[in-house]
Amino acid sequence: MTQLTKLTDTYTLNNGTQIPIVGFGTWQTPDGDVARQSVKTAIAAGYRHIDTAFAYGNEKSVGAGIRESGIKRENLWVTTKLTNDVHGYDKTKAAIETSLQNLGLDYLDLYLIHWPNPIASRANWEADNAGSWRAMEEAQKAGKLRAIGVSNFRPKHIDALLKTATVVPQVNQIFLNPSDLEPEVVAYNNAHHILSEAYSPLGTGKIFTVPELKELAEKYAKSVAQLVLRWSLQHGFLPLPKSVHADRIEANTKLFDFEITAADMQKIDGLRGVAGLAADPDTTTF
């Protein structure tokens, strides 16, 4: 396990790039003042890693929050994602430029294919992903993307990508929390030196109702959120907690003054299904 001391500690990606070990998520954060202010609040609380996506509909507001934070661009890590209806080489080239414009940035730290097999590409997903990846590799070489990766990809989707890829994905962002450890995907990621990023690390809020987690949080004198985020870090994941409440945004940074015992880690690992499981990317309806 990486020694964990502060929010701005980093993991090293397979291309040598350093990524902060906790990110601030913006999925389901409303566009406009809410997104702008929550990003500013997160950066003020110490976050240096902001995660958004074109599909979230809030890239412009996230970009405004970044600019208004007063933190130098080179001290921030910003991720966004390719949306589902623009897979393929030409569409992906254009989508990268659109996201850069929306965010008001000259480059992105990480760009991900959001879903491997969306409805719009279902008849031709492998070829469409290959085209998107080629555009992303070119953008990375051009300095527009520091790192490139995927999201919601299962091993078969990455295997298909690697048939034509010249760059192994740096990141696979997946649904990871005590309810679903996605062991096969994580093992595959580890074997290929792909970092497992945890979206919905708090189980979209459902995790807070789990009695076993409440009991363990009390034991450590921490909130359930702090306990579960610490659990994620001790697994070597990169959690992306989301909140629009300043007090919770601040509280979710307090992860470095305690350590979960091996026995309690096992207890948490055994909670599969308590807050839902990852969606099957081959049967999603979007």
Please report which residue ranges of 17-68 form alpha helices under DSSP H.
33-45, 59-68
CA distance 85 to 186: 27
49-71 residues labelled b (16+ CB within 10 A) or e (exposed):
bbbbbbbbebbbbbbbbbbebee
The closest alpha carbon to 162, from 120, 182, 133, belongs to 133
- Please give the pLDDT value at position 204: 83
Q: Is 30 exposed, middle or buried (0-12, 13-18, 19+ CB in 10 A)?
A: middle
Asked if 84 contacts 115 with a C-beta cutoff of 8 angstroms, the reply is yes
Mind listing the pLDDT tens digit of every residue in the chain (286 residues)? 457 789 999 999 999 999 999 999 999 899 999 999 999 999 999 999 999 999 999 999 999 999 999 999 999 999 999 999 999 999 999 999 999 999 999 999 999 999 999 999 999 999 999 999 999 999 999 999 999 999 999 999 999 999 999 999 999 999 999 999 999 999 999 999 999 999 999 998 889 999 999 999 999 999 999 999 999 999 999 999 999 999 999 999 999 999 999 999 999 999 999 999 999 999 999 9
Q: In the beta sheet, which residues pair with residue 51?
A: 25, 79
Asked if 164 contacts 134 with a C-beta cutoff of 8 angstroms, the reply is yes
- Please give the pLDDT value at position 1: 46
User: With helix as H, strand as E and coil as C, how does 75-142 read?
Assistant: HCEEEEEECHHHCCHHHHHHHHHHHHHHHCCCCEEEEEECCCCCHHHCCCHHHHHHHHHHHHHHHHHC
CA distance 137 to 182: 27
pTM of the shown model: 0.97
Regarding beta strands 77-82 and 145-151, do their DSSP bridges make them parallel or antiparallel, or are they unpaired?
A: unpaired
- Please give the pLDDT value at position 85: 97
The closest alpha carbon to 274, from 200, 212, 197, belongs to 212
Residue 26 Rama label (left phi>0; alpha psi -120 to 50; beta) = alpha
Active site residues: 56
CA distance 46 to 169: 27
Give 118's contacts (C-beta < 8 A, 6+ positions apart): 84, 85, 87, 125, 284, 286
Mean pLDDT (the chain) is: 97
- Please give the pLDDT value at position 242: 94
